[in-house]
Homo-oligomer: A and B are copies of this chain.
Amino acid sequence: MARAAGLSIATVSRALNRPELLNEDTRRIVNEAVARLDYRPSVAAKRLRGNRTDLILVVVPSLSPFFLDIFAGVEAAAERAGFSVLVGHTDRNSARERLFVDQVGASRADGIILVTSVDLPTLTGMGWLPPTVVALDVDGGGGLPMVRVDHVAGAEDATNILLNLGHTRVAHILGPERSGMTRHRLEGYQRALAARGLNVNPDYCVRGDFTVESGVAAINALLALPSPPTAVFAANDQMAIGAIRGLRRRGLQVPRDMSIFGFDDERIAALCDPPLSTVRIPTFEIGRTAMEQMLRLLEGAAMEHDLVLPTELVIRDTAAPAPDRA
Binding site for B on A (CB under 8 A): 38, 40-45, 47-48, 51, 53, 55, 63-65, 68-69, 71-72, 75, 84-89, 102-103, 105-108, 127-128, 212, 238, 241, 245, 248, 267-268, 271-273
Which residues of B are found within 8 Å of A55, using beta-carbon distances?
Answer: 86
Which residues of B are found within 8 Å of A86, using beta-carbon distances?
Answer: 55, 84-87
Would you list the 3 A-B pairs with minimal beta carbon distance, nearest first? A65-B65, A44-B47, A40-B106
Known: A63-B68, A63-B69, A271-B241. Is A45-B43 also a contact (CB below 8 A)?
no
Expressed in whole angstroms, the minimum distance between the Cβ of A39 and any Cβ of chain B is 10
Expressed in whole angstroms, the minimum distance between the Cβ of A43 and any Cβ of chain B is 5
Expressed in whole angstroms, the minimum distance between the Cβ of A272 and any Cβ of chain B is 7
> 21 pairs across A/B with beta carbons < 8 Å?
A38-B127, A40-B106, A42-B106, A44-B48, A44-B51, A44-B107, A48-B48, A55-B86, A65-B65, A65-B68, A72-B89, A84-B86, A84-B88, A86-B87, A238-B271, A241-B271, A248-B273, A267-B268, A268-B268, A268-B271, A273-B273
Taking a contact as CB atoms under 8 Å apart, the answer to whether A106 and B63 are in contact is no
